[in-house]
A = this chain, B = another copy of it.
Amino acid sequence: MRKTKPIRIVAMGKYLPQAVSSAALEEKYELPKGWAMKYSGVENRHIITTEYNGLMGAKAAQQALEKAQLTLADIDMVISGNGTYDYPIPNQASIIKALLDEKNQYPVPAIDIDSTCLSFVTALDMAAHLLNGENYKNILIVSTEIASKGINPANWETLTLFGDGAAAAIVSYDESADSCYFKGQQFTYSEGTHLTIIEGGGNKNFFKDHPYDPELHSFKMQGKQLLRLTKQKLPEFIEKFFEDTSYTLNTIDAIVPHQASKLGLSLFTKRYQLKPGTVKETLRKYGNCIAASIPLTLLDAIEAGSIQRGDICFLAGTSAGFSMGGVLIRY
């Protein structure tokens, strides 16, 4: 068994822009009534009006700081774990940090970690490795995502599935608490690298040579192939993840999965005969918020009381890359 580490999520925050119901979306884009709920499982999502990644992230972060009764003075690193961003340069964490109170008083390092939808999970894993109670006591992780810009309205599947939003967590080294980190692990299956992609907007199809085209500059996923690959690799991932722990999917208290899709979410429950309520869901109310989905879902479950201190929680999901990854903690 691996040694545990006294890591604790001490507080979380969130920011959600304006709510947009599926009924409103269907009307706006002339979709059949009920299409979004039926095929994507999404009843409501939030979509930015004037917000940007940095602003939403900073609001979520500030809320987490207030709840923890901490300020930037107490934070040893700001990690932004996102798939989307305000600017190609500088990194998103610097933009978020520059919007926090007392930003100029404390030169807290600001770095980005990107494993697309798993970015929060990877950031949490990295934070758990860094935190030692000495030079790293508290780390602020922020996942702030704007999916709505990279959506092609002609693609109903992604149009109805995705949402915008931000969540933040303060993770601390705390030997006095019962909370702990058990392990984190990720697998990147290169067979699926091109199954989820935004083809334009980077150096490969640079915007100078490729003017805006909703096909090229929007998120595309080959849903069927992705689901097939997920089904194929899930047993290996789960087996390898839990083999050096004293838990199984059936003995843990909560699974906080990436809210990838309706079918994706049902995979866990179907395959592993889990107790009802084990798999936490926010897909219906927030849609898929890329890397912000897992922390938003965790925070919702904590606020609803369905995850409590002491609960063994598996934060896990799939991401573009194609990766599967997770972190196991005692909340």
Q: Point out residues on A near B: beta carbons under 8 Å.
A: 52-54, 78, 83-91, 93-95, 97-98, 103-104, 107-116, 122, 126, 129-130, 135, 146, 149-150, 185-191, 193-194, 196-204, 206-208, 211-212, 214, 217, 219, 233, 319-323, 325
Interface-centre pick from A95, A107, A116, A149 (highest chain B CB count, 10 A)? A107
**Which residues of B have CB within 8 Å of A214?**
208
* Bound CA span A194–B89, Å: 9
Q: Is the pair B115, A146 in contact by a Cβ cutoff of 8 Å?
A: no
**Which residues of B have CB within 8 Å of A126?**
126, 129-130
Q: Is the pair B91, A321 in contact by a Cβ cutoff of 8 Å?
A: yes
CB-based nearest B residue for A94: B321
CB-based nearest B residue for A319: B90
Q: Which 3 A-B pairs have the closest CB atoms?
A: A94-B321, A90-B320, A109-B186
Q: Is the pair A191, B104 in contact by a Cβ cutoff of 8 Å?
A: yes
* Bound CA span A189–B88, Å: 19
* Bound CA span A322–B202, Å: 23
**Which residues of B have CB within 8 Å of A321?**
90-91, 93-94, 110
CB-based nearest B residue for A201: B88
Q: Is the pair A197, B87 in contact by a Cβ cutoff of 8 Å?
A: yes
A-B contact pairs, 10 of them (CB 8 A): A53-B203, A87-B199, A87-B201, A89-B150, A90-B116, A90-B197, A94-B323, A109-B185, A126-B126, A207-B212
